[in-house]
Chains A and B, each alone.
Chain A
Amino acid sequence: MMLGRALAICLLCFFACSLTSAQENVPIISGGAGFLSSTQGGTNVLQPVLAPVIAIPLGDRWLIESRADLREVYFQQGPGGPYTNEGFSTLEYLQLDFNANSHLTITAGRFLTPFNIYNERISPIWISKLQDAPYVAAIGTGQGYSDGIMLRGALISTNSYAINYETYFATLSTVNKFTSDRGTGGRISMFLPGTRLEVGASYRRTLQGTHSNSEGLDLTWEPYQAPLQLRGEWAHSQSGFGYWIQASYRLSQIKGESSPIGRLEPVFRMQQFFRSAQIPNDSLPSTNAQQPTFGLNYYLPHEVRLNASYGRQFLAHTTDTNVWEFGITYRFLFPLWPGASR
């Protein structure tokens, strides 16, 4: 084992040398902080959240990056009842990336599971237009992260189109705070830069317990002509299938994006889930469900955003409920040590 330790020390020295040989690379801490509240069926849930992201570039091609989610959740015990609280801390990713070339980036460690678009791109609190994740975001992603190795890059990249891929293998881990399911999968997508239209297809095979497949399709469109975003996903697993589609429109075409009106952004999302089998702990609604949600975001200066939304949840064999949500988020970015911002 002495030899093993010596090699581990060599690896650390290697990283230290890479760091010092590229002094222009400054590690940063970024991410978001927020306070989120929701009221469903008259019961409140309050959540102060901190989601720091750390990025440490090493040399020209290496990067260590990590994101955590730290939140304290205050649950109300029924309408008008007392509150109880519980803290949650999740390491969402901690990965070492090697940018071999435009066609290949090798990632090892814990990474966000690449299945459809929500988990990897839209889930951060400072990016998502609505507080709640769509029902089908749990399909193909499980806990949202995987421990293993991932390859990704551009198969073809031209001025008129790009075909990108992500593929991974995740190992089983039962270590506390580092639990992960064994599985494999990936996503392939085509992006048209001229219209900012992207379509993707995802697949995952879970390789433990009852082996099962999940499939997904996603679409995003952000036309240059208008501050409109259209996004949607369809996903299927042995638990069931469903979709969500979301449109948001920033009113920046009225007097500019810094005007009081231009800071507003109405959002609408429709989602449905159809249950086909009861699978324990699949993080999906226990029965058929659908929910339209209307939201309104207001972008304040200095990366602060206010959001409010109303949704009506329709669950089969259960009383329909209203879902009200309000929140404030702040996106931050600092160098990891003082003076590095010069």
Chain B
Amino acid sequence: MNYRSFRTIAGLCVLLVCMIVCTLAAAQEKQAKSQAVSSADTQDKASSQTAAGEKLFRTHCGRCHNPPESLSPREARAVVRHMRVRATLTTGDERLILKFLAP
């Protein structure tokens, strides 16, 4: 095995380990969050979150373009994930804008 092959394999190993660790951490965090959420005040919270999401959409995304005319909840996830990178949205902003686009 020459040095170049070794370097490629080592790089792939590091990448794979990083991805697995990150995914496990994300799954753990998601589980903890879902347990913490109470369902008592869900409805009130949902409407206020939609309003907050609309405001955030106007503040960040609306600076360059209007919201898409029709968007299903499943499509909205991909759109918001894409916009999170483009518009440097925080995790909280991403969640609220998703509530607005796919209530």
Contacts and interface: CB of A to CB of B under 8 A. Distances in A.
Category for how many chain A residues contact B:
35 or more
Interface residues of B, number: 39
Nearest to B62: A222
A25 B78 contact: yes
Interface in A50-109: 53, 55-57, 59-61, 63, 65, 97-102, 105, 107
A121 B64 contact: yes
- Kindly name the residue among B22, B23, B81, B84 whose own CB sees the greatest number of chain A CB atoms within 10 A: B81
Contacts of B27: 60
Interface in A142-167: 152-154, 157, 162, 164, 166
Given A4-B5, A11-B15, A56 B90 contact: no
A335 B8 contact: no
A4 B8 contact: yes
Interface in A114-171: 120-122, 126-127, 152-154, 157, 162, 164, 166
A30 interface: yes
Interface string B55-87: 000110011110011011111011101101110
B46 interface: no
Contact of B20 (A1, A14, A25, A302): A14
Contacts of B13: 7
Contacts of A120: 86
Interface in A3-32: 3-4, 7-8, 10-11, 14, 18, 24-28, 30
B26 to A, nearest CB: 5
A302 B68 CA distance: 9
Contacts, number: 121
Interface in B20-67: 20, 22-23, 26-27, 30, 58-59, 62-65
A342 interface: yes
Given A122-B64, A127-B64, A193 B59 contact: yes
Interface of B: 5, 8-9, 12-13, 15-16, 19-20, 22-23, 26-27, 30, 58-59, 62-65, 68-69, 71-75, 77-79, 81-82, 84-86, 88, 90-92
Interface of A: 1, 3-4, 7-8, 10-11, 14, 18, 24-28, 30, 53, 55-57, 59-61, 63, 65, 97-102, 105, 107, 120-122, 126-127, 152-154, 157, 162, 164, 166, 193, 196, 220, 222, 224, 229, 302-303, 331, 333, 335, 340-342
